[in-house]
Structure 1
Amino acid sequence: MAGDVVTHAAEAAHGGLDLVPVVALLAAGTIAVPIFRRIGLGSVLGYLAAGLLLGPSGIGLISDPASVLHAAELGVVLFLFIIGLEMEPSRLWSLRKQIFGLGVIQVAVSGALLTGIGVLLGFAPVVAFVFGMGFVLTSTAIVMQILGERGELATPGGQKMVSVLLLEDLAIVPLLAVVTLLAPSTDDVSMTARLTSFGVAAGAILLLIFLGRRIMNPFFGLLAQAKVREVMTAAALLVVLGAALLFQVSGLSMAMGAFLAGVLLSTSAFKHQLEADVEPFRGLLLGLFFLAVGMSLDLAVVGENWGLIAISVAVYMLVKAVAIYVIARLLKSDHGEALERAVLMGQGGEFAFVLYTTAATSGLIDGPTNAIFTATVIISMVITPFAIIGMRYLMPKAAQSMDGVEEAHEMSGKVLIIGFGRFGQIVSQPLLALKHTVSIIDNDTDMIRAAAQIGFKVYYGDGTRLDILRAAGASTADLILICTDQREQTTRIAELLRDEFPLARVMARAFDRSHGIELVRAGVEYQLRETFESAINFGGAAIRLLGATDEEADEVIEGVRGRDRQRFELQLGGEDWRNLTQLLISNARDQAREGGVSIAEETADAAASQSADQTRGS
């Protein structure tokens, strides 16, 4: 019997779906992408490298990348649908000058220059146009990731880059249409047939607009009433793929159909639901698309044309970066902002693969040319993180405007506050309420001007400089409060005060427990972790909501505070973490047994369990 089961299972496996390539693709993506993101090269390059490894130029596990690429193109279709969902008319209107001004100028000028470079490199004008316009399309994934990590998406410079990226994302739609029109035709087509094709395409656009405005919202409203999640997901995919199919059979781009569907639904009440339903498929299929592009990269062709590729990468990146820099300077950006934009946006991007693949499919370029173009873009994307590192040495040091700001000079407040961010602003209020004379310094001129608007007099000064501390009155202040939010800066100020003003009483904001210990050893009289009290109160509110009485909650909170104090004192004395934790647990249980309080004993048991987990983890 067991032998029959094994035999049938083997036969089923033999005649069923071959899961080896599927598992290999998923494994390659899940391993390569985190590694590449960890080393700062981005997820797109991780997918490309994984695809290259699996493809014919690598271990050859997948011998037909084209079949994977055709299926993975749906990822681009879904990506453009989501971009369309973000294209609300109001947002486009608010950014119209940057999108349709700066964006159009940058794309047009860079595209013209790169097309000219392509002609000089020996490509036919049409092929050079495809090469240049593909390279113009900056990597949205790379630039958005960098801006997000820096927290610069909302800054003026970041907004300009986002606007240009938005215009480039929009530009892929007409570029795909242009590539289709430029594709060579093997048949003689009459004028009537051309007009008919144009009419069919126009009819498809009008039909989709009608469906989007009149039918889709009521349709999703009916489905929402059913409250079946999988039906809504299926409907979202139906809209995207249906719009793509409509445009495909009309002779237009699938991506253009999906994009237009997204725009039509950008103001819909179901916009966020649609985005949430489509996003997992978009991410998976777009990753598969990049894997397929990596598999399609022919290293033999790259090796044969390495000189042309190297020249193309160097010249295209340099020309594009110079064009971006000059345009930025002409439009009144300063040197630092223009240089940063030029370096961040000097590479080609993922939409170039879409354009080159479409051009190859339509017969506009051949396979080897596609491999050369794709390799050029990939190498430019690999170089970008290293170019950003080099840019740091060329960037001018940011100079703060001192308009409306006074530097610290002969200050004589009873209390000196160093740092006037969120923490310092709250700290100052009890002191001012009791009429203490307070002197405040900070090194953020924007914050100083903002504080002046609400009635606070804050002087400019860097607390890590001894001359500033003297000018701020550190030698005569009764109390000095260090409220800065940078760990190293706070410790440096505390050490300066200890060495130069040993009689000063100092309180400091600590980042965490180890920082608090550093500060005590640096001579600080009182320190408090910046989130400790808020977290304690938050936990107390949580157990009250779960049914604890006020007396029980107060007892538990006081127990937490007490054990924290003991742990801090023991760590300050150099005690081992495991020993001091076991000591605190033992003390807590003794207190529970003496007082007959079950909740304290339960707290000790929970602490013992957590300590065991931490011990195993270490």
Structure 2
Amino acid sequence: MAGSTDLYSPVLSDALVILGAAGIVIPVFNRYRITPVIGFILVGLLVGPFGLGRHVFDHPWLSYVTITDPDGLEVFAEFGIILLLFSIGLELSFARLWQMRRMVFGLGSLELIVIGASLTFILAAIGQGFAGAMALGLALALSSTALVLKITNTATPVGRAALAMLLFEDIALVPIIFLLGALAPHADSNSMGNLLHTLLWGSGAVIALLVFGRYLLPPLFAQAARTKSPELFLAASLLVVILASLATAATGLSPIVGALVAGLLIAETEYHSEVEQITEPFKGLALGVFLITIGMSIDIEVVWENLGSILVATVGVICLKAVVTGVLLRLMGARRGTATETGILMSSPSETTLIVLSAAASAQLIQPGTAQFWQIVTAIGLTVTPLLSLTGKIMARRVDTVEAPHQPAGDDSQPRTIIVGFGRVGRLVADMLTKHGRPYVAVDSDTDFVSEGRRQGYAVTFGDAGRGDAMLRMGAAHAAAVILTMDEPVTAQRIVRKLRVQFPDLPIITRARDASHAAQLYRAGATHAVPETLESSLQLSEAVLVETGVAMGPVIASIHEKRDEFREMIMQEGGLKEKPALRSGQLREPERT
């Protein structure tokens, strides 16, 4: 029993530190509008083996607030990067990826080759052996996928350029590792054969994932969605990403390639929004673990002893990469602000730099001391990446006459209406919006409704509007209106209340069962609540009056008048004197004379 307790306590203490860090760092840094990236790295620096961890033997109680097993966190850190690439795949599509091919293989290859060659010649000129200089140059030319894509928006020009370069770097990682093996002093003659073998089998694995995934994933997620169980949906999502990562890793490719392919496949289904939302907390926590491991790798004493040379190396690498990347983007036609911001954002080294440095040291291309020096430079570069991002935005505003664009493409177009629930009522609303040229997007948690709607050409996706920030992801912040059509009174009332708190000016039109339910919806914050029983009575009255010979004009006027009377009565029952204020120009009723 004692033995099991000894094994159990370190796991609990490490979990306590990580969860405590997440619980403290994220709220504090969000409060001051600072990215939590810096906070997690500082936590790793504090609780790692070079921080408080070095005093554990003198003060055993520190083991409860430090990381006792740093190596054990590596698998969780890698999982965070895998989930990040999976989420990037969800944001992409095969059509968009094909459109980016020029950027990925044109800009991406140029950026890696030019920066790698420049660093190689500089390092060789200051005394590093050519093979070692090449290894260091390629390692330092890589940029951080985990941090850059977390900071930027891939729908902006800056985000698209960064994504293209990062995708090529991730693809090139495997050939780089094999190249270092071939350059090793005692390398075997089969390195090129091994590389071709890996690329052949890796390509086969990717093709198999594409073929089988296209046919197997839709029914898998449809079945998970029918159960209405978030746990099962999450399990299916994690199963897909882990199996895809293992498939590519088994062939020698990076597991992040499989994660990206899995994301691309799910992006082609109607379930991509729900998958993205349900995996978001795991991605955030796993990335936090990765950032903590970066902080734990920084030895403050070594940094202090070599402060001058470390700062020179860090600043030199950042400046060189920023200038080269910015110039290449300008040559490819990017605006000055976009080129400036992207160059500075991409200028720090990468988490994969640490992998390449380890491979170079194992191949005896560089000395262990040299590897440690550049590992510290890389860790410091990763730490300042959020500051580089801020600097890039400031510099972009200065070199452009207007601020570099940061809004997703299409934000300047007509705002969309969001339809929640796509049954009989939701479909009719979509038809009317389409008839009058109003853009919309619909969301429903019933997979049968979603599948049928998509087959018939409707813009509908799968998701649970009542969970998390699903409505924010659907674009509620910039929506023309939100229409709730589901016949679920409690759910509708909860969603209305949540939307009204998050978006005080958003027009919310909702279906109600009867007058009492409409009053509750008005009380929750609905702009309009339409009782089904009232509307059916009014339509019946209209038909009777027309059939008995009353002119259509007076009938319509009296129907509108009666509807307004009922609405006032319902709102009074709900405790409201007047309808919630709307944004200027949106869905206001014309004043009656």
SS in structure 2 at match of 1:297:
coil
The structural deviation recorded for 1:211 is 2.5
Structure 1 window deviating more from structure 2 (374-383 vs 284-293): it is 374-383
User: Which of residues 42, 48, 53 in structure 1 aligns to 2:35?
Assistant: 42
Q: Residues 399 and 220 of structure 1: is their aligned pair in 2 closer, same or farther, counting only changes over 3 Å?
A: closer
Which runs of 5 or more residues in structure 2 are unaligned?
54-65, 403-411, 413-503, 509-518, 532-565, 581-593
With normalisation by structure 1, the TM-score equals 0.56
Distance 1:323 1:332 in 2: 14
Residue 326 of structure 1: aligned partner: 327
Residue 70 of structure 1: aligned partner: 75
The equivalences for 1:263-274 within 5 A come to: 263-274=264-275
The equivalences for 1:105-116 within 5 A come to: 105-116=110-121
Q: Residues 55 and 351 of structure 1: is their aligned pair in 2 closer, same or farther, counting only changes over 3 Å?
A: same
Residue 527 of structure 1: aligned partner: none
Distance 1:389 1:331 in 2: 23
Distance 2:192 2:111 in 1: 38
Distance 2:129 2:147 in 1: 30
The structural deviation recorded for 1:337 is 4.6
Distance 1:365 1:30 in 2: 40
Residue 85 of structure 2: aligned partner: 80
Distance 1:256 1:278 in 2: 18
The equivalences for 1:574-613 within 5 A come to: none
Distance 1:202 1:361 in 2: 27
Q: Residues 384 and 85 of structure 1: is their aligned pair in 2 closer, same or farther, counting only changes over 3 Å?
A: closer
Residue 245 of structure 2: aligned partner: 244
The structural deviation recorded for 1:363 is 7.7
Q: Answer yes or no: is 1:31 the counterpart of 2:27.
A: no
Distance 1:320 1:192 in 2: 29
The structural deviation recorded for 1:53 is 1.0
The structural deviation recorded for 1:374 is 3.4
> Contact 2:336–2:396 (CA<8 Å) still a contact in 1?
no
User: Which of residues 13, 16, 20 in structure 2 aligns to 1:20?
Assistant: 13
Residue 437 of structure 1: aligned partner: none
The structural deviation recorded for 1:314 is 1.8
Distance 1:399 1:290 in 2: 36
Distance 2:34 2:371 in 1: 23
Residue 175 of structure 1: aligned partner: 172
With normalisation by structure 2, the TM-score equals 0.58
> Contact 1:302–1:371 (CA<8 Å) still a contact in 2?
no
The structural deviation recorded for 1:534 is 8.5
Distance 1:390 1:233 in 2: 37
Aligned residues: 418
The structural deviation recorded for 1:343 is 3.4
Residue 221 of structure 1: aligned partner: 222
Distance 2:527 2:192 in 1: 78
Structure 1 window deviating more from structure 2 (330-339 vs 303-312): it is 330-339
Q: Answer yes or no: is 1:553 the counterpart of 2:571.
A: yes
Larger Rg: 1
The equivalences for 1:219-618 within 5 A come to: 219-333=220-334, 335-353=336-354, 356=357, 368-383=369-384, 388=390, 392=394, 396=398, 399=401, 542=526, 545=529, 550-551=568-569, 553=571, 557=576
Distance 1:190 1:560 in 2: 76
Distance 1:50 1:193 in 2: 44
Distance 2:90 2:118 in 1: 32
> Contact 1:135–1:348 (CA<8 Å) still a contact in 2?
yes
Distance 2:76 2:365 in 1: 21
The structural deviation recorded for 1:76 is 1.5
Structure 1 window deviating more from structure 2 (100-109 vs 361-370): it is 361-370
Distance 2:314 2:380 in 1: 7
Distance 1:390 1:210 in 2: 41
Q: Answer yes or no: is 1:162 the counterpart of 2:159.
A: yes
Residues 579-600 of structure 1, C-alpha deviation per residue, up to 9 Å, x if partnerless?
Answer: xxxxxxxxxxxxxxxxxxxxxx
> Contact 2:45–2:295 (CA<8 Å) still a contact in 1?
yes
Amino acid aligned to 2:47: L
Residues 196-233 of structure 1, C-alpha deviation per residue, up to 9 Å, x if partnerless?
Answer: 66654454344333332343333333444444332232
SS in structure 2 at match of 1:180:
helix
Distance 2:224 2:364 in 1: 43
> Contact 1:84–1:259 (CA<8 Å) still a contact in 2?
yes
Distance 1:308 1:254 in 2: 35
Amino acid aligned to 2:571: A
Distance 2:192 2:106 in 1: 38
Amino acid aligned to 2:222: G
Q: Residues 209 and 359 of structure 1: is their aligned pair in 2 closer, same or farther, counting only changes over 3 Å?
A: farther
Q: Residues 399 and 178 of structure 1: is their aligned pair in 2 closer, same or farther, counting only changes over 3 Å?
A: closer
Which runs of 5 or more residues in structure 1 are unaligned?
1-7, 401-420, 422-530, 562-618
Residues 67-125 of structure 1, C-alpha deviation per residue, up to 9 Å, x if partnerless?
Answer: 22134212112222222233312212444454444444334333332333333344444
The structural deviation recorded for 1:551 is 4.5
The structural deviation recorded for 1:381 is 4.6
> Contact 1:118–1:128 (CA<8 Å) still a contact in 2?
yes
Amino acid aligned to 1:347: S
Q: Residues 205 and 345 of structure 1: is their aligned pair in 2 closer, same or farther, counting only changes over 3 Å?
A: closer
Q: CA RMSD in A?
A: 4.5
SS in structure 2 at match of 1:265:
helix
Q: Residues 32 and 131 of structure 1: is their aligned pair in 2 closer, same or farther, counting only changes over 3 Å?
A: farther
Q: Residues 76 and 534 of structure 1: is their aligned pair in 2 closer, same or farther, counting only changes over 3 Å?
A: closer
Distance 1:258 1:551 in 2: 56
Structure 1 window deviating more from structure 2 (104-113 vs 355-364): it is 355-364
Residues 370-415 of structure 1, C-alpha deviation per residue, up to 9 Å, x if partnerless?
Answer: 4433332343355566665598589548658xxxxxxxxxxxxxxx
